[in-house]
Amino acid sequence: MNTTVQVFPVLGLPVHLSDNYPGYLLSRLNQGLGSHVVTLNAEMCMQAEKTSRLANIINSADLVIPDGAGIVFYLRLKGKKIKRFPGIELAESLLSQITTFYPSPSVFFFGGAPGVGIAASETWHHKIPEVAIVCQHGYLSGDEETQLKETLKQLQPQLIFVGLGVPRQEFWIAENKHLCPHSIWVGVGGSFDIWAGTKERAPAWFCDNNLEWLYRLYQEPWRWRRMLALPQFAWKAIWHRA
């Protein structure tokens, strides 16, 4: 598999264009190359405009995938036809395909409320029993976090999914990825909640029509303030001349 992918700028941030993101990452893993993956959406783009630390992390990520409908909309405006690839689907593809390369891989889930990661890992254990998943919830004291870092150093899992929400998870990965330099690190937002069954993903019709954000707003109305970033992004996308 090709070890380079095309990069296209979205409001000054990179988005990698590929029709096989999991294949690209697993091929890097096979070569001993670690990867930090950012799953970019419009909300995150607008946050990055205000927070240079987040922008720098996105700029230096090894892979930035088009997670949100806004990113796909922007790319289409610029003549790039690419399908949306949500982070949760990337994580699921990696879990499903990892055994092709590693017969008994090790995976780490960090984040979510206490109990959520365990329930999520049980869901996966039923599907692929050969994958060993270790979990840690995302509400740790300083001492517990130090212990977590030790565990990661010893385990060197092939996949490390961090679900602390944006931008906390991106900051955490950037600060700690040196602990496991050969792993695939992905910020997965609320994916553990979905695998655990404590939250639901939008029905397929919403996902297929780039309206997952609308379903989320209906499920979690408190998100309205954060989602004001979406019309701002659309406005910028239309007027930006990159």
Rounded least distance, CB 69 to ligand UDP, Å: 14
Asked if 200 and 180 touch (Cβ cutoff 8 Å), the reply is no
Residues within window 152-171 making contact with ligand UDP, judged by CB under 6 A:
163-166
- d(C-alpha 59, C-alpha 49), whole Å: 12
* Six-digit token string for 181: 């330099």
Report the alpha-carbon distance of residue 146 to residue 164 in Å, rounded. Answer: 17
At its nearest, how many Å lie between ligand UDP and the CB of residue 21?
Answer: 18
Question: CB of 142: closest distance to ligand UDP in angstroms?
Answer: 13
Q: From the list 22, 66, 86, 138, which residue makes contact with ligand UDP (rule: CB under 6 A)?
A: 138
For residue 156, with 0-12 CB atoms within 10 Å meaning exposed, 13-18 middle and 19 or more buried, which class applies?
Answer: middle
Find out whether 51 and 79 touch, Cβ atoms under 8 Å.
no
Would you say how long the chain is, in residues?
Answer: 242
Region for residue 149 given its phi and psi (left: phi exceeds 0; alpha: psi -120 to 50; beta: otherwise): alpha
74/161 with CB nearer ligand UDP: 161
Question: To the nearest whole angstrom, how small is the minimum distance from the Cβ of residue 216 to ligand UDP?
Answer: 8
Q: Of 29 and 166, which has the nearer Cβ to ligand UDP?
A: 166
User: To the nearest whole angstrom, how small is the minimum distance from the Cβ of residue 23 to ligand UDP?
Assistant: 24
> Would you say 112 or 157 has its CB closer to ligand UDP?
112
C-alpha gyration radius of the chain: 17
If the CB atoms of residues 105 and 112 are measured against ligand UDP, the closer one turns out to be 112
Strands (E), 12-54: 13-17, 35-40
105 lies in the binding site for ligand UDP (CB under 6 A): no
Could you give the angle at which helices 42-50 and 69-77 cross, rounded to 10 degrees?
90
Q: Out of 74, 192, 195, 213, which residue is the one contacting ligand UDP (CB under 6 A)?
A: 192
Q: Is 174 in the site for ligand UDP (CB under 6 A)?
A: no
Give the CB-side neighbour count of residue 116, counting CA atoms within 13 A: 22
The SS3 assignment for 132 reads strand
Give the number of residues in contact with ligand UDP, rule: CB under 6 A: 13
Which of 1, 7, 77, 113 is the binder for ligand UDP (CB under 6 A)? 113
At residue 153, what is the residue type? K
Q: Closest separation between CB of residue 125 and ligand UDP, Å?
A: 19
Nearest approach, Cβ of 113 to ligand UDP (angstroms)?
Answer: 5
> Is residue 190 involved in binding ligand UDP (CB under 6 A)?
yes
Q: Which residues bind ligand UDP (CB under 6 A)?
A: 111-113, 138-139, 163-166, 189-190, 192-193
